[in-house]
Amino acid sequence: MAMSAVARDTVFALRRQIAKIEGTLPERLQAPAPGAPINAGGSDMTLVRRGLAVAAADAFLHTGIDRLDTALGGGLPKAALSEIHGLETRDAGAVAGFALSLVSLILKEKQGLPILWVGTAEIFHEAGLPYAKGLHALFGIEPEQLLFSEAPKLLDALWIAEEAARMTAFAAVILEIRGSPRLLDLTATRRLHARARNAGRPVLLLRQAGAADPTAAPVRLIVSAAPSTSRETVAGPLAGSIGRPAFKVDIGKSRTALPGQFTLEWNPNEHAFAERAENSVAVVPTSQRGADPAPASGAVLAFPALAAPATGDQPSRQQHPAHRSPRRAG
Amino acid sequence: MISHRDNNTQRIAALDERAEALKLKRGMGIADARAMHPSIDVVEADPEADRRLLEGLADWCDRYTPLVAIDAEDGLFLDVTGCTHLFGGERAMQDEILTRFFQQGFDVRAGLASTPGAAWAAARFHGDRIVTGGEEKALLSPLPLSALRIAPETRTGLESVGLRTAGAVMAAPRAPLARRFGTTLLLRLDQALGRLDEAVSPRLPVAPLSVERHLAEPVMLTDDIERLVNRLAIALKTDLERRGEGARTLALLLFRVDGAVSRIAVGTSRPMREPRLIQRLFHERLTALEQTIDAGFGFDLVRLSVLSVAAFDLVQGDLAGEADDDEADIALFADRVRARLGEAAVLKPVVVESHLPERAVKTVPFAEAPQRRAPAAGRATPRTAPPMTVYPPERPVRLFRSPEPIEVPATEIPEGPPMNFRWRRALYRVARAEGPERIAAEWWRQLPGEEEAPTRDYYRIEDSEGRRYWLYRQGLYGSAPQAATPRWFMHGVFA
């Protein structure tokens, strides 16, 4: 029994340390039930570290796509800074659209709360100002719910975002920045993240044409536009028409997931995401060193043979026929 | 000596005591003066700078009374009614004003009387004199006509008929005077004697409420000023409560020891009276102005004025004492951002009844936007709303401030969408297109005689990489023979 108590202490000490590193308050750690069996040996005990999984269950915004939610370790953290990157400024439409669809999902729970969109004068000039009429039609965001803040300089934009992030009156704060300015470093993102966590409100940092700088945000998504499907009519898809908005989402950084790519389609009527099945190609190569550590990240449809854990180590015969068959032939 | 150009000659506009001792006079030609005394130093007059100086002095005089008016080029009117007791009586106040001006290096003459006209005459013809009520006639009688503030032509006319002093004009019968010299003369006379009221129009609107604090030891640090703002705001709160009002515009006046006055104003989006919030607003403003405000040797008078007020609705808080009012939080947040970054820092979109995309939504500063209406309890959510039979046309998520011209080499069909285009130097290949949606200019807003703006044909475009754009063609092909080929513009991007 004594052994078990010591082990439990150690585990808790380690957990607290991890929580400290991750920035989660130790109070929010869930202590195991008193009767829970603790392995006295301690050797095969694994602490499953899942990002903010120690926090409450409603700490995540569920995108509605199981595969993406699982890959992110439960969804997008609600009380945190999340980065959404666009590789080029011309992706601004897709990045803004994806961020607003997330906001639209948040607004399902917090109806009527306003949104603040902070940007520098540069980005609004380069990528255009969000257009209230378009947002209303696509995401159900009323014009009265929108507030823009145009800061002359980046420093001012960061100040506004920080001040707004500590308020609970906004459903979400969107900060949009172009390029990779030096001011937006680890410290700045950490400050934003800390405020968002304390207020319990999401801060979305949209970065247009920026590099993947070090960031305190637990999640970084890289969004680009995906070709849309045709409009659905009673008589079937209407050829040549442009249907619902579609996004290609890459997970650039996440504490729990391996990088992955998803093609999502936004349904403006239901205000929900749908995953496009025919494009769901696994772009993640299977791990060469061991079994796939994330088997739960969804069914891999294009190469079903690779999904089996047993073939994780060895390339299958179909995958490498090129350099074997000719030799045999010769 | 200062010269100015008058009727194509340089004349003396002002001169100092030493020049006066040389028997030079105002209005004398510079050439004459130079002939008499070749060594005189002549400076070109700068009326603008004089005006600025006078306004600075008027600002400084704000410390004595809120009613300060500028009189012509070289005078200030101070309406000290009800203010003299604060400075120990009329004599003490006038002495203090004169001493302070003297210390600042100004040669000032002052007169204090119950009418502006008499005070004007006393200041200009006596120097330092206090005229009690009823004494105006005795004061004015021996003075020359120029003490009556009348036009030079009238004065010459009066002198030509032998009326050389104000007393002589007063003794003359009124009716012929009015007939010959106009009513202005009698008006000035009556005003100076107190028979008619004369209003001094102050430079700045008088604040409904203001509190101030004279400091024995000047303050210099921003923190100290902020603390003082808090103290003053506490004093202000009781007054505002009594009136049932809250402040909409507040101004902080900082009187520097050497006479410079800084004026800092903040606006609030909703009436405010809480000292803590007022202090926070000024904190942001002072932080933003840190570089521009020069404390110098410190401020010895700090005044907080409420420039405009509005009715303050009391809200019942809950038992915890914290009313959970998101709107108030946002209003305060917007005020703080505005205080630091200017009026246009927080914008709110307002939907305007128009079909032109750039006009349909206009962004207005937060303070001017209509207050958000609270979501009605029984309002139907979009999902339960009856299905729309007519779908509104699709609008982009981002709209460019001004449509950006794009190069379209050729289109398959003249009236159709482009096959590829060049925007911001990059080539885009159009994969799919929807449209056109024709949007005509608003003829009812067109000025008469103005040429009608060409119609626009909007297309939704998807390029080969899946990005969606909103393009339009301005004008039609072949609509007018002399017109150039229609131009294409990029107006927005879709999600």
Rounded Cα distance, A137 and A268, in Å: 7
- Identify the band that residue A319 occupies on the pLDDT scale cut at 50, 70 and 90: very low
Length of chain B: 495
At B279 the three-state DSSP class reads helix
At A175 the three-state DSSP class reads strand
Residue B318 phi, psi (nearest 5) = -85, 180
Contact A133 B350 (CB under 8 A): no
Residue A227 phi, psi (nearest 5) = -60, 140
- Identify the band that residue B482 occupies on the pLDDT scale cut at 50, 70 and 90: low
Taking one residue from A and the other from B, the number of pairs with CB-CB distance under 8 angstroms is 167
Q: Read off the DSSP letter of residue B409.
A: -
* Contacts B334 to A, Cβ<8 Å: 147
Beta strands in chain A (DSSP E): 60-61, 76-77, 81-86, 115-120, 129-130, 146-151, 172-178, 203-208, 219-225, 231-233, 236-238, 246-254, 261-267, 272-275
Contact B467 A93 (CB under 8 A): yes
B136-175, pLDDT tens digit by residue? 888 888 888 888 888 888 888 888 888 888 888 888 888 8
Tokens of B289: 């102005």
A57-279 classified as CATH 1.10.287.3510:
no
A79-123, pLDDT tens digit by residue? 999 999 999 888 999 999 999 999 999 998 888 889 999 999 889
- The pLDDT score that the predictor gives to residue B123 is 87
Angle B440-B442-B447 (CA atoms, 0-180°, nearest 5)?
Answer: 130
Contact A93 B337 (CB under 8 A): no
B2-45 classified as CATH 3.40.1170:
yes
* Averaged pLDDT score across all residues of chain A: 77
Contact B337 A160 (CB under 8 A): yes
Q: Are B118 and B130 in contact (CB under 8 A)?
A: no
Respond yes or no on whether the N-terminal peptide bond of residue B417 is cis (omega within 30° of 0).
no
pLDDT at A231 over 90: no
B184-215 burial string, b = 16+ CB within 10 Å, else e? ebbbbbbbbbbeeeeeeebbbeebebbbbeeb
Q: Are B493 and A208 in contact (CB under 8 A)?
A: no
* Contacts B433 to A, Cβ<8 Å: 240, 242
Q: Does A237 touch chain B (CB under 8 A)?
A: no
Tokens of A224: 């680009």
The residue ranges of every structural domain in chain A are 1-47, 57-279
The tally of CA atoms less than 13 A away on the side-chain side of residue B82 is 2
Burial of B338 (0-12, 13-18, 19+ CB in 10 A): buried
A171-207, pLDDT tens digit by residue? 999 999 998 888 888 999 999 999 999 998 999 999 9
- The pLDDT score that the predictor gives to residue A44 is 39
pTM of the model: 0.73
Q: Mutation test of the interface with chain B: which of A142, A144, A155, choosing the one with the most B Cβ atoms within 10 A?
A: A144
Q: Are A186 and A215 in contact (CB under 8 A)?
A: yes
Q: Mutation test of the interface with chain B: which of A101, A133, A224, choosing the one with the most B Cβ atoms within 10 A?
A: A133
pLDDT at B271 over 80: yes
B209-314+327-341 CATH choice from 3.40.50.970, 3.90.79.10, 2.30.38.10, 3.30.1490.100: 3.30.1490.100
A108-112, A224-228, B213-217, B240-244: the lowest-pLDDT one: A108-112
Q: What is the pairing mode between strands B110-112 and B209-219? A: unpaired
Which single residue is written with the structure tokens 């300015």? A181
Q: How far is B233 from chain A (nearest CA, A)?
A: 24
At B103 the three-state DSSP class reads helix
Choose among A244, A241, A243, A242: nearest CA to A272: A244
- The pLDDT score that the predictor gives to residue A312 is 43
Tokens of B337: 């951002």
Q: Are B340 and A152 in contact (CB under 8 A)?
A: no
Q: Where are the alpha helices (DSSP H) in B40-110?
A: 47-61, 89-103
pLDDT at B15 over 60: yes
Rounded Cα distance, B99 and B105, in Å: 10
- The pLDDT score that the predictor gives to residue B373 is 52
A42-51, A99-108, A113-122, B285-294: the lowest-pLDDT one: A42-51
Greater confidence, B464 or B132? Answer: B464
At A161 the three-state DSSP class reads helix
Rounded Cα distance, B149 and B130, in Å: 19
> CA dihedral defined by B192, B193, B199, B202, rounded to 10 degrees?
50
A292-304, pLDDT tens digit by residue? 555 555 555 555 4
Nearest to B346 among A91, A112, A149 (CB): A149
Tokens of B491: 């107006």
> Which amino acid is residue B421, in one-letter code?
F
Q: How far is A328 from chain B (nearest CA, A)?
A: 42
Contact B346 A152 (CB under 8 A): no
CA distances from B435 to A242, B422, B460, B468 (A): 10, 19, 6, 13
Q: Read off the DSSP letter of residue B364.
A: E
Say how many C-beta atoms besides its own lie within 10 A of residue B74's C-beta.
10
- The pLDDT score that the predictor gives to residue A192 is 93
Rounded Cα distance, A266 and A139, in Å: 9
Note which residues in 68-107 of chain A have CB less than 8 A from chain B: 90-94, 96-98, 100-101
Q: Does A259 touch chain B (CB under 8 A)?
A: no
Tokens of B145: 């006509």
User: How large a percentage of chain A has pLDDT more than 90?
Assistant: 30
- The pLDDT score that the predictor gives to residue A221 is 92
Kindly report each contact of residues B129-133 with a partner whose C-beta sits within 8 Å and lies 24 or more positions away, as own/partner: B130/B90, B130/B91, B130/B94, B133/B194
CA–centroid distance for A324 within its chain: 41
Q: What is the pairing mode between strands B2-6 and A146-151? A: unpaired
User: How large a percentage of chain A has pLDDT more than 70?
Assistant: 70
Rounded Cα distance, B457 and A147, in Å: 31
Choose among B411, B434, B393: nearest CA to B487: B411
Rounded Cα distance, B483 and B474, in Å: 12
A14-28, A101-115, A282-296, B50-64: the lowest-pLDDT one: A282-296
Contact B396 A131 (CB under 8 A): yes
> Which amino acid is residue A225, in one-letter code?
A
Choose among A135, A66, A149, A72: nearest CA to A98: A135
CA distances from A240 to A231, B232, B410, B471 (A): 9, 69, 20, 17
Which single residue is written with the structure tokens 């932080």? B287
Rounded Cα distance, B476 and B95, in Å: 79
Choose among B454, B452, B446, B448: nearest CA to B472: B454
> Which amino acid is residue B249, in one-letter code?
T
Query: CA of B392: which chain A residue's CA is closest?
Result: A137
Q: How far is B277 from chain A (nearest CA, A)?
A: 15
Q: Are A110 and A249 in contact (CB under 8 A)?
A: no
Q: Are B305 and B209 in contact (CB under 8 A)?
A: yes
* Averaged pLDDT score across all residues of chain B: 83
pLDDT at B333 over 50: yes
- The pLDDT score that the predictor gives to residue A32 is 45
Q: Are B433 and B472 in contact (CB under 8 A)?
A: no
